[in-house]
Every structure is written in structure tokens, then in C-alpha cells.
Chain A
């Protein structure tokens, strides 16, 4: 029974979804004439055999994917994010490791080889995304709270559209004349609506929504300026490392846009539930104000702890004088003061957005690090230059130059997440049931967390660490 179930709901749909993903990525690779390298596994130069090999591999990987996400929460959004991470990890394992090993007997983990294989990364991301979406469609993942019909669907579309347009506005303002292709409102509208369709009824939590949205923004960046726009112009896929380097100038914009969409859809969904929905599972909900001050207080403490670590790294990397510039000063004291204040403020927001989201130190690390990365994009890359009177530093070179700051933000986020979790564990360990009555509620809350969050954390860290390296000249 179990084995049959495992086959019927894991392997089989996974294989089919993998085939879909394989077809799409094969089509994409054919565009940039990259397929024969896979084919060279069997017979060099044979395109037909190459497609067959590619599809077989895709189907096998798809079966693995089906088994991997078998126990995870269903839903197109969830499988999409798992698929993206799965694809990205296989890029490292496949084109960078197994393929050269089988072909040449060497492993190619150096920057040059990785840059050569950069198109493969996008192809793997595309494969993962297509496989994830296809899997959700093939399994016919049920939506929590019933199918989307009538006004419910309209509501979802409207929320997505509003969140997308609102999120695209700062994108428009910041990108300015550099935005090419279709106008930003169109990107916003499409992005917002598609995100809302992926998560018609998003799980609770503003913080996870921000991170989810940010990763969606990354996906949208790979999909829109690197894929659809050049294809529509008839210029072929812009998947080479040079194209991606040029496209980096809009990547932070897309990340922030995605985060804004995630936030907007989440909050609009909350408002819609408040106004239009009957009480559904409201028994576990407490008002936003309940324990809100305590969450902020714990967040501030956690932010201070993270800020201390940040300052250590920042002093090492010479980031402090830049922070002092915000006050128009050059003294280290002013810089540290600015950093402490900012660390506390971000910590407070972390406390509010991420309370009751980390079950253990591992998930605390995940949320903290991804939130730290979001602030690296928002802070040193965007707000700092803008506040200092310059344009946002959205180039691969600037990102590479700010690598030290990225490490500092990771350290900040990790320490903040862990300290916040430890404070919650000490004062309000919500994941520990203390009576039979409570047990059911705790189990519901824990299950709530079986989302694609781990995939998001891994993908964010992989992307954050590799893109500045690979796209740097």
C-alpha cells in the first residue's frame, strides 16, 4: 500500500513532471546550442540522441523530485520553489561535477568553468520551475480552503494586481530610464497576479511572505528580462554570463519588487479575510497586538546581538565610515551609532514579522540569514546610495565590492535569528504543548511550517553567494 502510494503519488507524477521540465529546458538549450554537450555522454555530435538522453535524465531527476516533495505541503507555489532549489542544486552536481567527470574525468569547480556553464544554471532553474509547476498540475494539488471560483478567484486576481502594481511603483522610480522592455506596470501586474495565483491563500506570517516574494522576484528576473523579453525581440535567450551581468542592473529591483509583492499579497489577504471571510480556523489566531510589544522587544534584543556581530565584521571590512556618511559625518562613533540604531530597528521588524516562525535553531538560522540578505539588497545596494544622494548601486561589480557587507549581513541575520529563537524558547516556547488541549493547536501550528521555507533559505544563500562571484568581471 505504502509502496504503491509512494509510486503513484511520488515517482510517477514526478517522472511526468520531469519530462515536461526536460522538454522545456531542452527547447531552451536548443536555442543556445548547448544540448550536444549532454548528448556527448553517448555519442558526440548527435542531436537526436542528445535530446533523448536529456529527457531520460530529466525524467529520472523528476522522479527524484516527486519523491522529495511528496510529504511537503501541496500547492503550485510550494512545488515551484522546491523545484527552483532542486534545479539549482543539480546545476552544481550535474554540469559542474558529474558531466565533466564522465566526459573528461575531471571536476570543474573553478570560476571560469562555472561562468562557462552559466546558461546551464538558468536552464536548470527553468527545468526546476517547470517540473515543480507541472508536478502541482499533474498531482492536482488541492488548495487549502477549496477550489478557486467566482468571486474568490476575482479577489485573488485583484489582490495580486494591486500588490504587483504597488510593488512595481518603487521599481519604476528606482530603475528610471534603465528599465527596458515592456513598461514596469505590466511587469508589476503580471508578477503580482501570478504570485497571487501561486499562493491564493498564503500561509501565515509576514516574514516568510517577504522571503517567498524575494525568491519569486529572483525567479521573475530569470524569467522576464533574461528570457521572455529577449525572446519576444527575437534576440534569443539572454542566458550567457555577459547577458546576466548586464541584467544584474535590474536584479535587486526584481528582488525588492518580489518582496513587496509577497508582503502586499500577504497583507491584502489578511485584510480580505478580515472583511469578507467567515471565521475559518480563527481559533488559533490571536490579535496582532497580543504579545506584539514583547515580540518587538525580543526582536530589538536579537537585533542588538546581531548588530554586535555585524559591527565586528563591518569594522574588518571597512564598512563603518560609509554608515557614518548617513549622518554626514566621518567618525567611527557616528558610524557605529547608525549601525546600532539600524540593527535595533531591523530587529524590531524581525520580531514582528518572524515571531512564531522558527521551531528550532535551524529554521531560525534560515529565516535570519534570508532576512539579512533582503536587507543587504535593500540597504547597502539601494537605500544607502540613495540616502547619500547617489543612484542605487545595482551592478555586479558593486555587488562584488560589497561582498564583505554581504557576509556582515549574513552574520547579522544568523545571530539575530538564533538569539530571537532562543528568547522565544525561553519565554514563550509556543511549539511545546503543555496540555492535551494545547497539543492539537501546537501540531496545527507546526504543520503550518512544513512549507517550502527550507528550499527558500538554501536557494537564497546559494544565489547570494554565487551570483556576485560569477557575474563579477
Chain B
């Protein structure tokens, strides 16, 4: 019990005694006090007084605890006392006393009228209780001014603990949210989240942004809005010093390096595309990791359609209208389906392009697409997409890319201007600089409690971590959003436990399900072993992901986007092109000021 609470409890009790004495005197003046003694089966005045005063002290102590001392708030405290005492009139004389006497509560006007003297007594009691409670605490604080600060909310000059979270994806943001919740009433913890982007990107809907189905900003929530009590730093992480427990960050390449100390560090850096050193991919392939990637791809596709509409060279037309996606996992399959939908829905604006011309190709190294879900569903997806005219090159590897072709492992070349690379990810390269245990792919190896092996007070979650999966011994947790989310929460809980001197709990989570959208109101879904496909699965996909989208505002916006998509074709506005040309660029003149133009004010001598 805190000092201030104890003080208020005692002052409330004494205030209750003051109020109780006054009301006892008034009740006795009307000869009503003895009836109180009937409660304990006695009829004597002394017993009545004892019961009366005893309950007055207890109820007064309750007042102190509930209403607490508020500086300068004496008017509120007195009226609060009246409110409190009148509620006790209902709870006491009308309810508890009849119950104690073995009867039913008397909630009738007649009984209330009979108890009216009691009501006035309660009113007097409440006013005196509030007033003397306030006076007592104020007097006490005047005598002991050093305790005044104890009653206020403790806001230390410096936080006692610092938790730094690197990465603003699902893992990082969910960890910060959980920490905020766990320390909601404790300002001693300072949480800092460092991320390059100031928003949490809802990656499952990224393909729909690339296909112009959703607005880019609608699938991302600002970190600052989602985390009201976390310090957010938009910066690049330069280095982590595990021995000194510091993180070096830099807000932009020209800014000086800043050092953030930490008591606990959460690595939630995520993954970056992995091109396996294949030639040309880094420069010519599109990836799908950020909002920028998605809008760039969308603009690229629309720009190609604009060019193809008037292109006369048949070979160039083929290159422009062939769209290749490498990788047959979730991301690749959803991407090719969405690209197909985008081109199909806007083709009517481009009369120069024949409907049979656009070609969609998915290259996958495995024998079947969607290895994450069961074979039946994967086959369904394959059939569905093939029926639309999407081509699949299975058991085929990409060997490289040029500006106008994709080179396959077997030496063939597919002429195209568009290659989307979803076939490989690797953990964030920063991890390579850490003196911790790393997996073959480069992920930080964490134990069951999410602690990074080889580093003190460092925790790892999400795609950058290799966490053992207790459901499938020998394997590690898959790099999905649902895992990252839970891992972040578990890391936060374990940090809270560590700060409070409790042992950490092992992380345990079983995949709820997988959902893959196939465009055109179809999808496949596998939830806890139950398989769905077609319209129902598509509906599930939208419902589930909509419910997971952070924030009501974004949910509403996405629902609006989807609804509008039912009635209108997709948007082909081309953004992110060239800036407005300057006059010299337009006229071809040099940038010299013509002699005839007046010189700007202040120019010349």
C-alpha cells in the first residue's frame, strides 16, 4: 500500500468518525439510534452507537480510498462525500440492514419515506466526512510537506529502464504495444522504437496496392499513432554494441550518429530480399517489401501499358506486355494474380492493346506452387490461375536478368520488361555485425524464450530471428506475420518479467491458418486443418485480414476502397513520374536571365 493511499485511508476513517459522531448525535436526538443496535441483536444505546460509529469509520475509510485527496478540491470532496453517503443510504438502511435482519431489501417509496431521517443523517455524515477528510489531509501535508510529492503521480526525472526496439514491423510494433500495456501505470519504463519507415505496413495487402486495388496509405498505420507512449525515432541503425548496451542510429546520412542506451533490446529488423548474387537481379527486378516498392511496380506496369498502346515494334510489344513473377510462395502467387487483375481491368482504356497480348508468367523452382499449404489447395490454385491464362514454369530457376529479359537457369531467356522477385529473403544485414549466434541464412538464433544466444539482454522476433518451434521439434517458427505478432508480444512479456525479477516463459504458438488470395474473388485458405477455396475463402481472406488491419480508420478506408472497386475500374493515374519541367527545359534555352527581363530586387549594385 502506498504512503498516500494509507494516508487517505486513515484520514477517511477519522473523517468518517467525525461524520458518524455528528449523525449519531442527530439520530439520537430523534431517538433513532437504538434501532441500529437491532442489527446485532442488541437493543442498548451503547451497542447502537458502537455499530453506528464502527460502520461510519469503515465507510469513511472507503471514501478516502475511492475519492482520494485532490489538492484544492475541497468543494468536490465535500459534494463527493454527499454523493457517496447517499449511495450508502441505499446500500445500508434500504438494503443491507433489512438483509441482515433476515428480510428482503426495502426498495419502496414507503420504506424510503420511513428512512428519510436516515437519509438526512447520511447527507450530514457525507458532507462532514468529505470536509474533515480534506481538512485532515491538508493539515497533514502542511505538517509533512516532504510527503506531498508522494501523493502525486511519480514521474521520475530519468526512466529506470530503457527498452529499445529496432524495427517497426509486426514484431516490433506488437512488442511496443504489449510493453505499453504492461507498463500502462508505470512511467519508469521508457520504450524507444527505431525504424526507417514511420508506419507499420500491412504486408498481406501489399499486392493489392501494387495492382491499384487499394490506396497505398490505407494499408499502413503511423507508428506514432499506434504507440502513444513510445518514443519513436525514424532512423537507420548503424551498429549495436552488446557489451556497452548501446545502439547507434543516424537519422540521415549527413546527420551525426546518436547513441541510445538500453537495458533490453528487441531485434525486429525483419528481412530484405535475397538475390543470391544472381546477375542483374538487383538492378532489374522489382521487389515487394515496402509501400514504395508497391507503388513503383504499379506505376511501372501502367507506364508500360501507356507505351505499348502506341508501340509499333512487335518484339518490344512482347517485352512490354510480358509480366514475370519469380517465386511461387504466397507473395508471388498473390502478385501474379493481382497483376492479371490489374491489366485485365484497365485494358479497355488501351485500345491499341489486343486482349490476347498481355502474358503473365510465374517461375517457381519447386514442383508445385504454394508449398506452405496442402497439395490439394495448391493444385486448386494452380488450376484456377492456369484457367485464366497465367503460365507457370515449375521446376525452373531464374539465372539472371537484363533490362529486357529474364534469363532462366537452363539458358533460356524470356523477353520482358517486368520481373517481380519474391523468391528469396534474408534476415537484415545488420545482424551479420552482431557477436551472436547466427543461422545459416544469417538470422539471429534465439532460444525458446526469444533471447538471442550469445548476447545479454537482447531478444529477437520476427523474420530476423530463428526461433525453435515446439510444435515441430527440430524446425523453427515460420516467417509469417501471425508469428511475428505473437513473438513480439511474448518478448515484451518476457522483458517485463525480467525487469520484475520473474523467469521468462517459453514462446509457444501454433499457426492458426494460411490464406492466399488468387484475385478475381477467389482464394484458398487452410485454417486449423480446415480447407476452403473459391468465393468463401476469398471472403474469409478479406474478413480476416481486414480485422487484422491496425486501426479503425484504416479499416474503414480499405472497406471503402474495396467497395468502390466493385463499381469502378481500377485507377490508372500515373504518379511518381518526372517533376514539373522548368522553363529552360521546356524551351531548350539556357538558364541565363534574358537581358530584357527586369533584374530581381536587390540584384545589381
**Chain A residues in contact with chain B, CB under 8 A?**
68-69, 71-72, 82, 85, 89, 92-93, 96-97, 101, 106-107, 109-111, 114, 287, 289-290, 292-293, 313, 316-317, 360-362, 365-366, 369, 400-401, 403-404, 407-408, 410-411, 414, 425-429, 432-436, 438-439, 450, 453-455, 457-458, 461-462, 465-466, 468-469, 472
Contact B116 A109 (CB under 8 A): yes
Contact B82 A313 (CB under 8 A): no
CB-defined contacts of A89 to chain B, threshold 8 Å: 82, 123, 127
Q: Give, as a whole number of angstroms, the nearest-CB distance from B118 to chain A.
A: 8
Q: A316-B104, A426-B184 are in contact. Are A472 and B113 (CB under 8 A)?
A: yes
Bound CA–CA A98/B311 (angstroms): 102
Q: State whether the Cβ of B124 lies closer than 8 Å to any Cβ in chain A.
A: yes
Contact B116 A369 (CB under 8 A): no
Contact B229 A369 (CB under 8 A): no
Inter-chain CB contacts under 8 Å: number: 156
Bound CA–CA A400/B123 (angstroms): 21
Bound CA–CA A71/B76 (angstroms): 10
Bound CA–CA A458/B90 (angstroms): 14
Contact A435 B184 (CB under 8 A): no
Contact B83 A454 (CB under 8 A): yes
Contact A109 B187 (CB under 8 A): no
CB-defined contacts of B29 to chain A, threshold 8 Å: 101, 106-107
Segment touching A, from B64-72, B295-303, B505-513: B64-72
24 contacts between A and B (CB under 8 A): A68-B75, A68-B78, A71-B72, A71-B74, A93-B127, A97-B26, A110-B117, A316-B105, A362-B84, A365-B83, A369-B83, A403-B107, A432-B153, A433-B187, A435-B229, A435-B231, A454-B75, A458-B82, A458-B86, A465-B86, A465-B90, A465-B112, A468-B112, A469-B113
Q: A362-B84, A410-B87, A438-B229 provided; 16 other pairs, C-beta below 8 A? A: A72-B76, A89-B123, A92-B124, A93-B124, A97-B124, A292-B552, A293-B552, A316-B105, A362-B68, A403-B108, A434-B187, A435-B190, A450-B76, A455-B75, A457-B79, A458-B79
Contact A362 B80 (CB under 8 A): yes
Contact A427 B67 (CB under 8 A): no
- What 9 A-B pairs are tightest by C-beta distance, nearest first? A400-B109, A109-B117, A362-B67, A454-B76, A404-B107, A454-B79, A458-B79, A71-B72, A403-B109
CB-defined contacts of B552 to chain A, threshold 8 Å: 289-290, 292-293
Contact A435 B124 (CB under 8 A): no
Bound CA–CA A414/B91 (angstroms): 12
Q: State whether the Cβ of B528 lies closer than 8 Å to any Cβ in chain A.
A: no
Contact A317 B75 (CB under 8 A): no
Q: State whether the Cβ of B120 lies closer than 8 Å to any Cβ in chain A.
A: yes
Digit string of B90-126 for contact with A (CB within 8 Å is 1, else 0)? 1000100000000011011100111011011101100
Q: State whether the Cβ of B143 lies closer than 8 Å to any Cβ in chain A.
A: no
Q: A313-B107, A316-B105, A439-B155 are in contact. Are A290 and B120 (CB under 8 A)?
A: no
Contact B80 A462 (CB under 8 A): no
Number of residues on chain B facing chain A (CB within 8 A) = 51
Contact B87 A450 (CB under 8 A): no
Contact A432 B76 (CB under 8 A): no
Bound CA–CA A79/B453 (angstroms): 65
CB-defined contacts of B72 to chain A, threshold 8 Å: 71
Q: A92-B120, A97-B26, A360-B68 are in contact. Are A472 and B109 (CB under 8 A)?
A: yes
Q: Give, as a whole number of angstroms, the nearest-CB distance from A77 to chain B.
A: 15
Contact B66 A362 (CB under 8 A): yes
**Residue in B82, B83, B556 whose Cβ sees the most chain A Cβ within 10 Å:** B83
Bound CA–CA A432/B186 (angstroms): 9
Bound CA–CA A450/B231 (angstroms): 30
**Chain B residues in contact with chain A, CB under 8 A?**
26, 29-30, 66-68, 72-80, 82-84, 86-87, 89-90, 94, 104-105, 107-109, 112-114, 116-117, 119-121, 123-124, 127, 153, 155, 181, 184-185, 187, 190, 229, 231, 552-553, 556
Q: Give, as a whole number of angstroms, the nearest-CB distance from B109 to chain A.
A: 4
Across the interface, A109 reaches (CB within 8 A) one of B26, B127, B190, namely B26
Across the interface, B87 reaches (CB within 8 A) one of A68, A429, A461, namely A461
**Chain A residue at minimal CB-CB distance from B81:** A458
**Chain B residue at minimal CB-CB distance from A293:** B552
Contact A71 B123 (CB under 8 A): no
Contact B185 A461 (CB under 8 A): no
Q: A360-B67, A366-B83, A438-B229 are in contact. Are A401 and B109 (CB under 8 A)?
A: yes
Contact B94 A407 (CB under 8 A): yes
CB-defined contacts of A316 to chain B, threshold 8 Å: 104-105, 107
Q: Give, as a whole number of angstroms, the nearest-CB distance from B184 to chain A.
A: 5
Bound CA–CA A438/B77 (angstroms): 27
Contact A462 B123 (CB under 8 A): yes
Q: Give, as a whole number of angstroms, the nearest-CB distance from A418 to chain B.
A: 9
CB-defined contacts of B184 to chain A, threshold 8 Å: 426-429, 432
Q: Give, as a whole number of angstroms, the nearest-CB distance from B186 to chain A.
A: 8
Bound CA–CA A96/B117 (angstroms): 10
Bound CA–CA A114/B112 (angstroms): 14
Contact A82 B75 (CB under 8 A): yes
Q: A403-B109, A433-B153, A461-B83 are in contact. Are A68 and B117 (CB under 8 A)?
A: no
Bound CA–CA A360/B68 (angstroms): 8
Contact A109 B30 (CB under 8 A): yes
Bound CA–CA A9/B505 (angstroms): 60
CB-defined contacts of B190 to chain A, threshold 8 Å: 435
Bound CA–CA A410/B153 (angstroms): 31
Q: Give, as a whole number of angstroms, the nearest-CB distance from A241 to chain B.
A: 13
**Residue in A82, A101, A290, A407 whose Cβ sees the most chain B Cβ within 10 Å:** A407
Contact B66 A436 (CB under 8 A): no
Q: Give, as a whole number of angstroms, the nearest-CB distance from A436 to chain B.
A: 7
CB-defined contacts of B89 to chain A, threshold 8 Å: 465
Contact B66 A469 (CB under 8 A): no
Q: Give, as a whole number of angstroms, the nearest-CB distance from B8 to chain A.
A: 11
Bound CA–CA A425/B73 (angstroms): 22
Across the interface, B187 reaches (CB within 8 A) one of A317, A362, A400, A432, namely A432
Bound CA–CA A435/B188 (angstroms): 9
Bound CA–CA A404/B187 (angstroms): 45
Contact B86 A462 (CB under 8 A): yes
**Chain B residue at minimal CB-CB distance from A442:** B153
**Chain B residue at minimal CB-CB distance from A401:** B109
